[in-house]
Structure 1
Amino acid sequence: MADEAKRRRTAAKGWATQSSKALATLLAEPTMTRLQLEDAIADFDRRLAALDDAQSIVELDIDDPDKLDEDIDAADAFRRQIRCTRVQATQKLEDMMHKAEQTGESTASASGSGDSVLNNIRLPRIELPKFSGDVLEWQSFWEQFEALVGVTNIPDVSKYGYLQSSLVGEAKRVIQGLTLTAANYHTACSVLKERFGKPERIIFAHIQALLNINLNTSTSRYIASLWKLQDQLNTHVRILEALGVEGDRYGVVLTPYPGGQMTKFW
């Protein structure tokens, strides 16, 4: 078992070394595109993750504490060596993205995708939405993120990077334990949808928001307060209708049982 684990680690080290060399070769290419760089980074991350897994298995088979320390030190030195190219690639990718933002290039043109006509169109830069964990904001956030990032043909590891940068507060903590790898992108999406995207939870949040709306009659801008109240009501009503809660059900929804328990209608 120990010999098999070491052979697996040796193979993983070989693949990681080859991926690091390929990344270094690509960085030296003057015609390198952003899409090529993102793909090479994603491949390196996969190889490094496989090496980490193989290293963990080897460590479990070492009983001698001194030999274990020696093995870990050697593994750490090798990992640091091959990651130097990854750091350079990350810096280069950030420079390319910054340049694309300054020139107003769209995601398609910056990554080298799309036809020749579309590549000549310069679209205004769109900021990625932020999501902090407020269920009321989930639907809007997710639809924007999918349109700006999710449907593009960039590697999943890059999509995950964009997703992480869009999350703050509670939402970011939910996926904190998932490392930045291509495989974890879909896992992170599933975790977020399970936590914040359940229709029944979204409906309940909007119902609570409707019940908590108050009109401030003490202000001198009474008319403005009425308009604000109307806007809030319309926003929640439209979202509820989009979720299948029609107007003829509002009477049941907004009428609490004695004792303050609200009717559960889903």
Structure 2
Amino acid sequence: MDEYSLSAMLESLGELKSSFSAAHTSLEELDFDSIASDLPSNFDAALINLRATLQREIGKRSASQHYSTLRMNSSETQSIIVNANSSRLPLLTLPKFSGAYTEWTNFYSMFTSIIDKDSDLTNIDKLQHLRSCLSGAALDTVRSLEINDANYNTALDLLQKRFDNKHLIFQAHVREIFGLERADSNVTKQRELTDEVTAHIRALQSLASNGKIADGIIVQLVIQKLDKKTQAKWEESSSISELPSWD
């Protein structure tokens, strides 16, 4: 494989990670035994090893830093370019959203800021842009809607009801932190670990205060010590808009 093929493969790993996260999140909602599964951490470890192998090989084949911008950490997602019909609007780069709860807040914030609030775009334009950003479980949520003016707001409402779940978003970020690979004495690995943890902490802080975050982490740990039936009952009674406190 030449450098271009290796770079294309490296670039595709972000989408692979997003697709896996979305699939496993859906599985957890249907099967509570999956919540304690080692599969996500094993998958992440394999993905990190593959990413490192590709980066080393690209580095060997090119003396320049041309491909350094393609380096991505395991929490990043692929981007797509959205072409707006408006002559005023430049090319826009938006993250894809596949249905992973850790991606929802960032995706929704960017989409509403760039596309939803643009008065020069019609609702049909906005719906087409929205569909072009989605994949996996997220796209399935709105796939049946026809492209028309009224269905843009319907599509946003469906996505919010499906993914704007504060409780599940919190749990997803905590699981990501606990599933991070141990860093050895390599400075680069330690920096990558710090960056990933910091990104998750910032996401958690956008959901709640530090006190509530601490409570939520304790609750999350203790819930894993309960039997599956009790876990299911607790999940059914939990609010989707508020984090549970220890009290």
Which runs of 5 or more structure 1 residues have no equivalent in the other structure?
Answer: 1-100, 112-122
Determine the structure 1 residue equivalent to 2:105: 139
How far residue 164 of structure 1 moved from its aligned partner, in angstroms, is 0.8
Equivalent in 192, 216, 224 of residue 159 of structure 2:
192
Give the whole-Å Cα distance in 2 for the aligned partners of 1:170 and 1:250: 30
Matched, 1:222 2:186: yes
Which runs of 5 or more structure 2 residues have no equivalent in the other structure?
Answer: 1-82
Would the alpha carbon gap of residues 248 and 223 (structure 1) be closer, same or farther in structure 2, given more than 3 Å must change?
A: farther
How far residue 124 of structure 1 moved from its aligned partner, in angstroms, is 5.8
Partner SS, residue 208 of structure 1: helix
1:182 maps to a residue whose letter is D
Would the alpha carbon gap of residues 254 and 211 (structure 1) be closer, same or farther in structure 2, given more than 3 Å must change?
A: farther
How far residue 128 of structure 1 moved from its aligned partner, in angstroms, is 2.9
Matched, 1:240 2:204: yes
How many percent identity over aligned positions?
Answer: 25
Larger helix fraction of residues: 1
Superposition CA RMSD, Å: 2.8
Would the alpha carbon gap of residues 225 and 159 (structure 1) be closer, same or farther in structure 2, given more than 3 Å must change?
A: same
Greater radius of gyration (CA): 1
* Structure with larger RCO (C-alpha < 8 A, sep 6+): 2
Give the whole-Å Cα distance in 1 for the aligned partners of 2:224 and 2:102: 26
Partner SS, residue 181 of structure 2: coil
Determine the structure 1 residue equivalent to 2:15: none
How far residue 251 of structure 1 moved from its aligned partner, in angstroms, is 6.2
Q: How does 1:150-229 map to 2 (within 5 A)?
A: 150-153=116-119, 154-217=121-184, 222-229=186-193
* Cα offsets for 1:44-82 (capped at 9, x unmatched): xxxxxxxxxxxxxxxxxxxxxxxxxxxxxxxxxxxxxxx
Give the whole-Å Cα distance in 2 for the aligned partners of 1:140 and 1:146: 10
Contact 2:123 2:149 in 1 (8 A): yes
Contact 2:204 2:213 in 1 (8 A): no
Give the whole-Å Cα distance in 2 for the aligned partners of 1:229 and 1:107: 41
* Cα offsets for 1:125-178 (capped at 9, x unmatched): 322331111111111111111111100112111111111111112211111111
Contact 1:160 1:180 in 2 (8 A): yes
Contact 1:133 1:170 in 2 (8 A): yes
* Cα offsets for 1:163-215 (capped at 9, x unmatched): 11111122111111111111111111011111111222211111111221221
Give the whole-Å Cα distance in 2 for the aligned partners of 1:242 and 1:258: 23
Give the whole-Å Cα distance in 2 for the aligned partners of 1:227 and 1:251: 27
1:237 maps to a residue whose letter is I
Partner SS, residue 127 of structure 1: strand
Would the alpha carbon gap of residues 124 and 199 (structure 1) be closer, same or farther in structure 2, given more than 3 Å must change?
A: same
Contact 1:132 1:171 in 2 (8 A): yes
Determine the structure 2 residue equivalent to 1:257: 222
How far residue 252 of structure 1 moved from its aligned partner, in angstroms, is 5.7
2:197 maps to a residue whose letter is L
Give the whole-Å Cα distance in 2 for the aligned partners of 1:234 and 1:174: 31
State TM-score, norm by structure 2.
Answer: 0.52
